[in-house]
Structure 1
Amino acid sequence: MALRIKNKSVLVTGGANGIGYSCVHQLLLKGAKIVAILDMDSVAGEKAIQKFNTEFGRSCTFIISTNVSKAEEFESNFKKAVEKMGGLDIMINNAGIANDRDWYLMININIKALIQGTFMAIDLMGKHKGGKGGTVINMASVMAFAANEKNPVYAATKHAVIGFTRGVALNYETTGVAIKAMCPDVTDTSLITNIKCVEWINHDKAFNDIVNTPRQRPEIMGKEIMRLIEEGTNGAIWSNSLETSTISLNIPHFTTWGTPI
């Protein structure tokens, strides 16, 4: 189920900044053949492309400006990217926002687009469709396992990512596509600096509490996501934080939880 990154074709959503950018860099350091970035931030994306192509001395990356919350646009640009790469081996569903003031958009990006990206990748790479298999990485969060009064909808979207990832992973024998998830703790990216909390709390105080929380560097997450690709088993749920090394989360069956009442 583990997969070597060297000479593979990879697509990363939200790859122009933050954890996604770090993933693209690490993929290229690992010898990926080519990496496609689908991201709305075409300015940052073009800068990233120039940097990577210069650093690695070849045309190893490209960007297609894409709003993943628009399903038809996402599908069309996914197909364009795969055609340009000549195939797909790894998909990283990284695009996400943390905006409980615009929770409808957040659900579209954090859940709907992630599901769409996963299904498109399976449809393309799946052995049941004549493909050779592959790997999909879904970005979740430690908030998938916590109550969050400041951003309850954001936390709910990450709960959904875990449930979806674990369920789809059960189809591995049919599809040959390993589905895994990473759950970062607070990371120093624009998602944090642009965070919007629910409207009924003091946003300024909540924002200050969040931004003053110790944050890990996205470079660390990029390296750990490479480990998840190459070492993680199908259905693996990994987490990483400043306080602990990367751990594999073992989620018990619901019948073992709680106390009889």
Structure 2
Amino acid sequence: MQIKDKRVIVTGATNDLGLTFSRELLRNGALIIALIDIRQSPGEQAVKNLNNEFGRKRAVFLHCDVTNNSEFNTTFKEAINILGGLDILVNNVDVINEIDFSKAIDINVTTIIRGTLLGIQQMRKDSGGKGGVIVNISSTAGLRAVSQLPVYSATKHAIVSFSRSFAQPYHYDRTSVKVIVMCPGLTGTPILEDLPQGISSADILQKYQPQRVESVAHGLIYIVRCAQNGSVWINEEGKPVYEVQLPDTLPQKKTEVDMKEN
């Protein structure tokens, strides 16, 4: 999809990555962006900076606790009214919290699911919409096991599976809404809330060196423009984004001969 003159919503928009996503989308011609986040002061400042850089009324901030279902529903509808429609949705909410796993699931999984459903509802062709693109931000932790962050890894695996399932022809043939997954490596300044005993933020940041947010934002632009529905993309170590192929079938069952050979 071309980005020029498109209407965009970015959730989790005031963290390093969300704000850089918004700036890069505007730089590539997006008409207007609604930034949704719980952090009021940073959100208002972000919108002020974006409008100073790209022109008046190119960005708007909407305060919202996306873990509150009714508040998220209301705010999303308000964003649609302000934008005058929706073409691109970037679901970017994220937290690392290994102690309060319910909170991690609410933020990293439930809000992504709810945001995707709200976006499809607004853009689906079989209900009068024009179709569109949804990019769900997962993580490389959603494609491999991470011993230090098992809860975080599980939530990111969930995003990958949910997104790929909603990208199947059963849904896409009716909605014309692409659902794409982006899996960045550790990026910018991650939100490290509660970690298991014996593991510190310094341990995580030393083992997984953060990459620049600009690198991931450039990858997002490529994905919106070029990625196929249901595709999964990795951006890590500051290198260009690349697609990975995941199996759509269960692994073959090992036979007794295979097990003897191993």
What TM bracket, shorter-length normalisation? over 0.9
Letter in 2 for 1:209: D
In 1, Cα distance between the equivalents of 2:137 and 2:91? Answer: 6
Which residue, out of 40, 50, 53, partners 2:51? 53
| Other structure's SS at 1:119 match | helix
| Other structure's SS at 2:96 match | coil
Q: CA deviation at 1:128?
A: 1.3
Are 2:219 and 1:224 equivalent residues in the alignment?
A: yes
Are 2:199 and 1:211 equivalent residues in the alignment?
A: no
Are 2:60 and 1:66 equivalent residues in the alignment?
A: no
Mapping of residues 51-200 of structure 1, within 5 Å: 51-170=49-168, 171-191=171-191, 194-198=192-196
Letter in 2 for 1:18: D
Number of aligned positions between the proteins: 253
Larger Rg computed on CA atoms: 2
In 1, Cα distance between the equivalents of 2:220 and 2:253? Answer: 32
Show CA shifts across 1:4-39 (max 9, x none). 111000000011121111110001001111000110
Unaligned runs of 5+ in 2: none
Q: CA deviation at 1:218?
A: 0.8
Question: Quick check: 2:212–2:238 contact (8 Å CA) kept in 1?
Answer: no
In 2, Cα distance between the equivalents of 1:257 and 1:46? Answer: 53
In 1, Cα distance between the equivalents of 2:21 and 2:252? Answer: 35
Q: 1:57 to 1:88 in 2, by over 3 A?
A: same
In 1, Cα distance between the equivalents of 2:194 and 2:212? Answer: 21
Q: CA deviation at 1:245?
A: 3.4
**1:21 match:** 19
Q: CA deviation at 1:217?
A: 0.6
Unaligned runs of 5+ in 1: none
In 1, Cα distance between the equivalents of 2:125 and 2:46? Answer: 33
| Other structure's SS at 1:150 match | coil
Letter in 2 for 1:231: C
In 1, Cα distance between the equivalents of 2:217 and 2:238? Answer: 17
Structure with the bigger RCO (C-alpha within 8 Å, sep 6+) is 1
TM-score, normalisation: structure 1: 0.93
In 1, Cα distance between the equivalents of 2:238 and 2:119? Answer: 34
Stretch deviating more after TM superposition (249-258 or 125-134): 249-258
Mapping of residues 240-255 of structure 1, within 5 Å: 240-242=235-237, 244-255=239-250
In 2, Cα distance between the equivalents of 1:253 and 1:15? Answer: 32
Question: Quick check: 1:189–1:218 contact (8 Å CA) kept in 2?
Answer: no
Show CA shifts across 1:181-228 (max 9, x none). 10001112242xx24323xx3033xx2221223210111111101110
Question: Quick check: 1:140–1:162 contact (8 Å CA) kept in 2?
Answer: yes
Q: CA deviation at 1:254?
A: 4.0
| Other structure's SS at 1:121 match | helix
Letter in 2 for 1:224: G
Q: CA deviation at 1:259?
A: 4.7
| Other structure's SS at 1:6 match | coil
Question: Quick check: 1:196–1:203 contact (8 Å CA) kept in 2?
Answer: no
Question: Quick check: 2:125–2:131 contact (8 Å CA) kept in 1?
Answer: yes
Q: Give me the CA root mean square deviation.
A: 1.5
Q: 1:40 to 1:258 in 2, by over 3 A?
A: farther
In 2, Cα distance between the equivalents of 1:152 and 1:17? Answer: 23
Letter in 2 for 1:76: T
| Other structure's SS at 2:71 match | helix
Q: 1:215 to 1:127 in 2, by over 3 A?
A: same
Percent identical residues: 34
Are 2:198 and 1:202 equivalent residues in the alignment?
A: yes
| Other structure's SS at 1:255 match | coil
